[in-house]
Amino acid sequence: MIDTRLDGLWLIATTWSEPNIEISSHHMPELVPAAVKPTISTADVDKLDVRVGTIRAVDDVPASTRLVKLTVDFGDHTRTILAGLKTERSDPQEIVGAQALFVVNLEPKRMAGEVSNGMLFDIGYADGITPVLAVPERSVPDGARAG
């Protein structure tokens, strides 16, 4: 640790080293980014209610080859949200306890005999790569809004 005085303020610096991580092309798929979608107004973005929720349960949807039923805690309530995770993950149960981002103000949608009350944000599906959850960088209260 180094203590330095700068313009009447104390600046405390620590040294750290980056982990020795090798990234090779066989771990990261090649991706040609899609074209950027047409411009929208901030008013359009403000219409989306994106919140953090903790996934409390992942249950099978027997009538579907793709869908699982997530029980998601948003702090003041829980919701059922359907997500196409069966073919994306060898063990969908691995996300139980994880926080993720969800759109919570979509109209309810009936799929495979179940009703979904929101949408899970994931990253990668639209680009044909194995999706990952969109998650906060550290734990935040359930129900916290994005934006």
Q: What is the CATH number of the domain that holds 71?
A: 2.40.50.140
Tally of structural domains, the chain: 1
pTM, full prediction: 0.78
The tokens describing 86, both together, are 């069966």
- Residue 119 inside a domain? The answer is yes
Half-sphere exposure of 39 (CA within 13 A, CB side): 1
- Residue 81 inside a domain? The answer is yes
Structural domain range at position 109: 49-133
Least confident segment among 9-23, 26-40, 76-90? 9-23
Q: Are 82 and 37 in contact (CB under 8 A)?
A: no
- Residue 53 inside a domain? The answer is yes
pLDDT of residue 103 exceeding 60, the answer is: yes
Average confidence (pLDDT) over 37-61: 96
